[in-house]
Amino acid sequence: MAGTVAVVGVGAAYQLTGGFGIGDPKVNDCVQMKGDTDFDVVDCGSADAEYKIVGIDDEKMKYPDFQDAAAADEICTDFQTWEVALWIGDVLTEPGTIYCSEPA
């Protein structure tokens, strides 16, 4: 199943977590898209919830590799219900985390 790809860059990750690695989305968290490269974790019962995280891909990868893997349907393969892949990381230098999500 082909999914959609959304990128959350370094600035968004810092805003989302208040600092890298602290408060990142977890499985069963819901998010609201704030822009092409920004989302917030929100209460799943709120009208703001757009996507629910159904899994976190085990592989971390740099953004260009993420784009290639997404185009080839090589991400989120362990999660049957995923529809949107969200990537958080430093777009320029570091491997990022891939969050697999479905509509909330």
Q: What value does the mean pLDDT take over residues 68-94?
A: 86
Q: What value does the mean pLDDT take over residues 74-92?
A: 86
Using an 8 Å Cβ cutoff, are 103 and 52 in contact? yes
Sequence spans of domains, the chain = 4-103
Q: What value does the mean pLDDT take over residues 17-45?
A: 74
10 Å Cβ neighbour count for 1? 9
Q: Residue 55: is its pLDDT beyond 90?
A: yes
Q: pTM score > 0.85 for this model?
A: no
pLDDT band for 14, please (50, 70, 90 cuts): very low
Q: What value does the mean pLDDT take over residues 9-37?
A: 61
